[in-house]
Every structure is written in C-alpha cells, then in structure tokens.
Structure 1
Amino acid sequence: MLQEIQEFGSHAIEIYDYLMAGCDPRIKGYLLMQSPFPMTTILLCYLFFALYLGPRIMANRRPFQLKEAMIVYNFFLVALSLYIVYEFMMSGWATTYTWRCDIIDTSHSPQALRMVQVAWLFWFSKIIELMDTIFFVLRKKHSQITFLHIFHHSFMPWTWWWGASYAPGGIGSFHAMVNSSVHVVMYFYYGLSAAGPRFQKYLWWKKYMTAIQLTQFVLISLHATQYYFMDSCDYQFPVIIHLIWMYGTFFFVLFSNFWVQAYVKGKRLPKQNIKQCQNGTAVYTNGKTHENRNGINHGATMSNGSAHHENGSAHMGKMKKA
C-alpha cells in the first residue's frame, strides 16, 4: 500500500512538472503565477466563505450597508475593465491581429510583452471580482448567491490562470477582450444602482444587461467556431479553442435559463412581496423591483404614499399580529 502511494505521488509530481514546464516563461514573474496552488487556495477559501463560513458568521448579525464601498468598488472595476479593453486592442486586436487565425507572439517585443501583461491583468481582475459574492454575504443577500453566480466566479479565474500561463494572446484572448467590454457596462450599472434611489430613472435598461451578456457568449462561440472551418491554422494551443467554445456555449445556456426565469416566467418578485399580495396587502413598486448583483433592492413598498423599508421577518411578524 505504501509503495502504491509513493508511486502515485511520483507520477503526480511528474505530471505537475510537465504541466509547469509548458507555461510561458514571460508570465512567471507576475503575482500568483509561479504555481497554480496559491490561486487554487484563494478560490477554495472563497467557496468556503461564500457557502459556509460567511452565512454562519452573519446568521445572527444585521446586514452591513456598505453603500460607499460598493460605489467605489463598482466604478473602480469600470475603469479597470476599460483599461483592459484598451490594452487588448493596442496589444494586437486593433493593430496586428486579423481576427481569424491569430497565433501567440512568443517573442519579447514590446507589443508581445504588453499582451502578456494584459492577459495577467484580466486574470487578476477575476480575483478582484470575487468581492461581488463577499458583498452579498455581508449584506445577507443569500438569494443572489446562485449556482450560476458561484460557478462563474470560481470557474473563470481557475481556467484563465491556465490560459494566461500557457497562451497569453492570440485567438484565445478574444473572449477576454469581449468579457471586459461587457463588464464596463455591467459594473457601471451596478455603480449607479449602489448610488441610491435618485439614480433609478437611469436604470431602465437592466433587462438588456442579460441580453448583452448573451450576445457576448454568441460572439465568443462564433469566433471560436471559425477555427474549425479554416484550412490551416498554426495556433499553438488548439485545446484552448475547444475550451472557449464549450465555455461560450455552456454559459449561453445558463444565462438563457436566467433570462427565461427572470423575464419570461417573471420570477423576479421577492417572496416577501408575493406573500404580502397573497395576504391582501397592497404593494406598489412602480411596476417592477430592481435588484443588482451587489445586493441593492430598489423596490419600494409604499403605504399611504410614503416609502418605508423594513426587515422582512419583522414586517411579517407585525402583519400576523395585526
């Protein structure tokens, strides 16, 4: 038994050494890129906190407001995403790339090194975006922590670490540029949402956010699909193309399901409001309730023309007592 364990460990080390030997040496000097273990540890801690530790810590505590922190956070990501898009464009997509079979420039030219840098920056932005979920937990918006949310926030940084390590640039970086473009719009929306009710009149386009995300997955899949119809393409890591195609298709299905549940079946009304309606209590929310990923609920319960915000459990308790 001990010998088998030793043989397994020896084979595992050999596989690990083989995988690390294939990584691009130009990116190994960047933060957290020397080994996949620090990145994996961060993601495991994230999952542990989001799914277990955080909810237990907040179980008997009042939710944090964090309004100012969320405003700064969201608009910081707007600026970061804009910068990432610009760097991807200047590193090849708006200069030397053909938007078809674009291989990885493995040289040490300024433009090639610029692409390596923005590939790392895009990956690191996914680590920063784990704060989306932390805000949910601290504000006790547990309904927002769905399978789609958790899977997207953990799957993207884990897979992109390998993508940036092996293939920083070329045809495989298209989806990163598109994703960052979408995040400019997305986090701008969340920043306005966090800023307060006075900005509600500017947030009528929330429904189109999901449409924009669906469009990005269509573009990503179509761009990857053309690889299969080329007579020849010397892209160095075809497996990256296969994974990108599967990524675009899989997330298109997940976000399509969200679209159906949210906008076709109308399951966006909070359970509390549904119960109130069933008990004969009038609730006026201007026809809709606004929520965003940072946990801001912009629906207002109106009584005699004045808005009031109450804890869900306390409100239901008063109703029962009445």
Structure 2
Amino acid sequence: MSSPLTILVIVIAYLSFVLKLGPALMSKRSAFELRTLLVVYNILQVAMSVFIFSIGTDLILQNGLIIPRQCTIDSAELKMKTASIIYYYFYAKLSELIDTVFFVLRKRDRQISFLHVYHHTYALVISWYILKYEPVYSTIFLSTFNSFIHIIMYAYYGLAAFPNLTKYLWWKNYITKMQLVQFFLMVVQMILSHMFSHCKTSYVLLAALILNILLFMYLFSRFYTREYNKSQKNAINKAPLNVEINNDENKKFN
C-alpha cells in the first residue's frame, strides 16, 4: 500500500494475460475443466463475502447508514473497523481477478467481455484508492451490499460447475436485477451521505464512484436486455419447429 507501483503491476499483468497472453497460450490447447478448483474457489469467495457482509452489517447496525457527526470524533475503534472492512474488501477484489483467469483456461472467450474486464479492473483500483487515501465510513455500505450480492453470485457459480444442476439454476437473471438495484441504492446512499454527513468522501471520489456506477448501470442493463431478448428469441424460434414436427407426425397417422 505504500506505493501505487504494486497495484499497477498487478493490473498490467492481469490485462496482459486475459486479453493477450492467455488466449494465445490456450489457442492450440484443449480447454481445462477445473471443476474441483472452481468449486473450492467459489466456496472461498462465498465465505469471504459472508465475512465482509457480516462485519459490515454489524457496523451499519451500530452506527447507521449515515453518520451525521464529525469523522474525527472520538472513536478510534470506529475508524479501525472501517479501515479493516475496506482492507478485507480490497483483498476480495484482488482475488476476484482469478475469475477471468479461469475463463481463459476454460476457453470461455464469450465471458471475457468489456463489462467483465472493466468491472474487475475498476473495482480493484478504486478499492485500493479508497483504502490508501479515503477509508471513510460512507463507503462501508458499498462494500457491504456488494458483498451480499457476491454471496449469491458465487453460490450460483459454484453450483453451475455441476452440469446436472444447471437446469435448476433458474435464478440467474435475478442476479443481474439485484446488481442493478444495488447500483441505484449505492448512488442514493452516497449522495445522501455527502449531503448530510461530515464523514464523507471527497468530491473527486464521489464523482468517480457515481459516474462509474452509472456506467455500470448502463452496461449491466444492456447485458440483461441482450441476454433476455436472446432467450426469448430462442424460445420463439423453437416453437414453429416443434409445431412443424408435430404436424408431420400427425400426417403419418392420417
């Protein structure tokens, strides 16, 4: 944390591998299955998210979503708990880079989208910045709510590693909806914190967070619309085929 050099090297290495080196390395190789590794990884991610969510929720229940008093007051314990949650959240974002590495090794190129790569890169960099320069209480809601979403998301990924369970995972679309609700509530909470709390972020960080959250809302909405429309079209396209097959079968018996 003493220098941005370490995080810069990590980001460059991550982008280089997932965008260039990894695909080139896997181009002439068969995809890895990695089922056991995926299950273990997703269990660990759920455990980390549960931990951050639990301590973040406990802190919010004690102090509220907005602290209408001076940050500098008094409570060294509150400052330490706030910084600790941000610290754990930063390492969670760091570990989540492995998501994309698994996509590369499994040759799931379609999942290595701009949204995916940008989201992981931005989340890591902004959490490092907050931990380094502005570990303030008003960011706790962001990390806590996001960890709650990730409990559900990584539980889904862990179950999806078993092909025989995929037909039961009907709630995939709801994860994206929850993410959109999350972004909206984050914007509202940050604006209210900036208006009514002394324990707030700088204008620079506020602008960076809100502008990027709005971008995420647009990208996630577009992703959801594209995926939903695709599913609808597939269902519609299959219907005439089934009708035609049934008609042909009926003709045989008439």
Residue matched to 1:47:
15
Structure 1 or 2, whichever has the larger Rg, is 1
Residue matched to 1:58:
26
Residue matched to 1:3:
none
Alignment gaps of 5+ in structure 1 = 1-32, 283-322
Q: Provide closer, same or farther for how the CA distance between residues 221 and 204 of structure 1 changes in structure 2, counting only shifts above 3 A.
A: same
Q: Provide closer, same or farther for how the CA distance between residues 234 and 81 of structure 1 changes in structure 2, counting only shifts above 3 A.
A: closer
How far apart, in 1, do the equivalents of 2:97 and 2:53 lie?
20
Residue matched to 2:139:
172
- Output one character per residue of 1:80-116: Cα deviation in whole Å (capped at 9) or x when no partner: 00000112123x3111234365764686733421221
Q: How does 1:244-263 map to 2 (within 5 A)?
A: 244-263=209-228
How far apart, in 2, do the equivalents of 1:224 and 1:53 lie?
38
Residue 225 (structure 1) shift:
2.5
Considering only aligned residues, what root-mean-square deviation do their CA atoms show, in Å?
Answer: 2.5
Q: How does 1:5-154 map to 2 (within 5 A)?
A: 33-90=1-58, 92-99=59-66, 101=68, 104=71, 109-154=76-121
Q: Provide closer, same or farther for how the CA distance between residues 134 and 236 of structure 1 changes in structure 2, counting only shifts above 3 A.
A: closer
Residue 40 (structure 1) shift:
1.1
Higher helix residue share: 2
Q: Contact 2:183/2:213 (CA < 8 Å) preserved in 1?
A: yes
Q: Contact 2:56/2:85 (CA < 8 Å) preserved in 1?
A: yes
Q: Provide closer, same or farther for how the CA distance between residues 53 and 154 of structure 1 changes in structure 2, counting only shifts above 3 A.
A: same
The answer as to 2:132 corresponding to 1:185 is no
Give, as a single letter, the amino acid of the residue that structure 1 aligns with 2:44: F
How far apart, in 2, do the equivalents of 1:268 and 1:54 lie?
33
Q: Contact 2:85/2:140 (CA < 8 Å) preserved in 1?
A: no
How far apart, in 2, do the equivalents of 1:236 and 1:58 lie?
43
Residue matched to 1:23:
none
Q: Provide closer, same or farther for how the CA distance between residues 88 and 214 of structure 1 changes in structure 2, counting only shifts above 3 A.
A: same
Q: Secondary structure at the match of 1:94?
A: helix
Between 198-207 and 143-152, the greater mean CA deviation after superposition: 198-207
Q: How does 1:292-303 map to 2 (within 5 A)?
A: none
Q: Contact 2:49/2:151 (CA < 8 Å) preserved in 1?
A: yes
TM-score (norm. length: structure 2) = 0.85
The answer as to 2:204 corresponding to 1:239 is yes
Alignment gaps of 5+ in structure 2 = 243-254
Q: Provide closer, same or farther for how the CA distance between residues 104 and 75 of structure 1 changes in structure 2, counting only shifts above 3 A.
A: farther
How far apart, in 1, do the equivalents of 2:170 and 2:70 lie?
41
How far apart, in 1, do the equivalents of 2:55 and 2:91 lie?
14
Give, as a single letter, the amino acid of the residue that structure 2 aligns with 1:52: K
Q: Provide closer, same or farther for how the CA distance between residues 236 and 130 of structure 1 changes in structure 2, counting only shifts above 3 A.
A: closer
For these two proteins, the number of residue pairs brought into alignment is 238
TM-score (norm. length: structure 1) = 0.68
Match of 1:226 among 192, 195, 217: 192
How far apart, in 1, do the equivalents of 2:216 and 2:73 lie?
30
Residue 178 (structure 1) shift:
1.1
How far apart, in 2, do the equivalents of 1:69 and 1:105 lie?
45
Between 168-177 and 75-84, the greater mean CA deviation after superposition: 168-177
